[in-house]
Structure 1
Amino acid sequence: MNYFTQVWDEERDDEYASWGTSTWYFETNHTDLVLKQITVYQNGKTVKYTEEKQEDEFGGLCEGPLTIDDCDGEIISKEDFYLLW
């Protein structure tokens, strides 16, 4: 498994724009498919997605392969990911 982040320095463009900017956390498998995803917003709101819960009214699980190079993010440990999970 791979664990990494991406900082999104733009606000949402919907009714939740007041949540602020966000940091995204990803768990991907050996084929770079996102298995779990966490988005933490500036106001503290957190949303989580898995293969079992792929979407809700706030967003959804990333589709297709994703690598840290695609995100220009930082590698994090499995432990750090699961502290947020």
Structure 2
Amino acid sequence: MNYFTQFWDEGRDDEYSNWGNSTWYFETNDADEILKQITVYQNGKVLKYSEENPKDEFGNLGEHTLTIEDCDGTQISKEDFLEIWVSKQ
């Protein structure tokens, strides 16, 4: 598994644009498929997606492959990812 994060310095382009910038956290497998995804917005809103919860009215789990190089991300540990996954409601 791979774990990484990316800061997104652009707001959403929908009715939720006032949520602000966001930080994205990803868990991917060795085939670069996104297994879990967390988005933490500047206003505190948190979106979490996985196979168990692939989409809601605000977004969805990425359906494409993704590597840390694709998004100029920063590697994090599995423990750091899981801490965020569990702590963010």
- The answer to whether TM tops 0.5 is yes
Secondary structure of the residue aligned to 2:82 is helix
Equivalent residue for 1:58? 58
Report the CA distance between 1:12 and its aligned residue: 0.6
TM-score, normalised on structure 2? Answer: 0.92
- Map Cα deviations across residues 4-62 of structure 1 (whole Å, 9 max, x no partner): 01111001111111110000000001111000000000011100000121110111101
- Aligned partner of 2:74 in structure 1 is 74
Number of equivalent positions: 85
SS of equivalent to 1:55: coil
Q: Distance in 2 between matches of 1:23 and 1:8?
A: 6
Percent identity of paired positions between Structure 1 and Structure 2? 71
Give the alignment of 1:1-85 within 5 angstroms.
Answer: 1-85=1-85
Q: Equivalents in 1 of 2:84, 2:13: separation in Å?
A: 25
CA distance in 2, matches of 1:48, 1:11: 17
Segments of structure 2 that go 5 or more residues without pairing to the other structure are none
Shift of 1:84: 0.9
Which blocks of at least 5 consecutive residues in structure 1 are unaligned?
none
